[in-house]
Amino acid sequence: MASLRRDTIKLGEIELEIHEGGQGQPLLFLHGGGGPLPGAPFLERLAEKYRVIAPAHPGFGQSSLPIWIDSVDDFAHIHLELIERLNLVNILLMGHSIGGWAAAELATKTTCNIDRLVLIAPVGIKVGPTDRLDIPDIYAMSEAALDELLYADPKFRPDPSTMTDEQRLARARHRQTLALVVWEPYMHNPKLKHRLHRVDRPALLVRGAQDGLVSADYTAAYAALIPGAKLVTFDNAGHSPQIEQPAKFVEAVERFVGERT
């Protein structure tokens, strides 16, 4: 499999860590709240066919976090600047969880350089009653309880006893940054659902059937807000189907990209 190389790029005052590998149509992958996944098998498989660019959001990985950044929409603006800096066109824009949220925000601003959109268990909208959370409060539970919601197969759940001090520190930093950008309002931008009709590119939403964080109804409501969007669900997968079912995920993406519109 193709491996990704690490680099950094300066965008204004932000030092952005990026991982890149492969050739072909550019694929911009925006990671979820768990942090960047440069060595994940699904990215390495995708890099065999696409030019994969996988940045770490500000405050994740080795990317810096200026004091003025406090929302996922800020991430979307940063990644728009990255697209311009790298002169990317005809992009397969892919995002997972809060990365899916950032990708959706980005696509409502402009799709001029986007070919297709893939959202994996995205968050970012409010669809249920105002007095109930659509997404469980991840800060009202232990990390072990959260991991049970995230992964269908226990073998994919992180084991803190095997982590290095550096890995524990990174996990704590990611959790802290996540709280900063999703806390108020919790896990959504009230305006996003009113803007998703602007997405004028083919879109695919992917969900794991055993996802304990993002419900089937929530994902279906998200798909319904994007004109013509398709929804696929993988069994034996939780919140990260690209991790638990990498072969099926890559196959679904390649099939989606190959479809005529």
> Helix %, strand %, coil % for the chain, to 5?
40, 20, 45
pLDDT of residue 160: 86
Of 33, 58, 72, which Cα lies nearest the Cα of 184? 72
Peptide bond into 158 cis (omega under 30): no
For the chain, which residues score pLDDT lower than 70?
1-2, 260-261
Which pLDDT score is estimated for 48? Answer: 95
| Residue 158 domain boundaries | 5-258
User: How many domains does the chain divide into?
Assistant: 1
Q: What is the pLDDT of residue 143?
A: 87
CATH number at residue 148: 3.40.50.1820
CA pair distance 63, 215, nearest whole angstrom: 31
**Structure confidence by residue, pLDDT tens digits, 215-249:** 999 999 999 999 999 999 999 999 999 999 999 99
Rounded distance between C-alpha atoms, residue 200 and residue 173, angstroms: 35
Strand segments (E) across 22-164: 26-30, 51-55, 91-96, 114-120
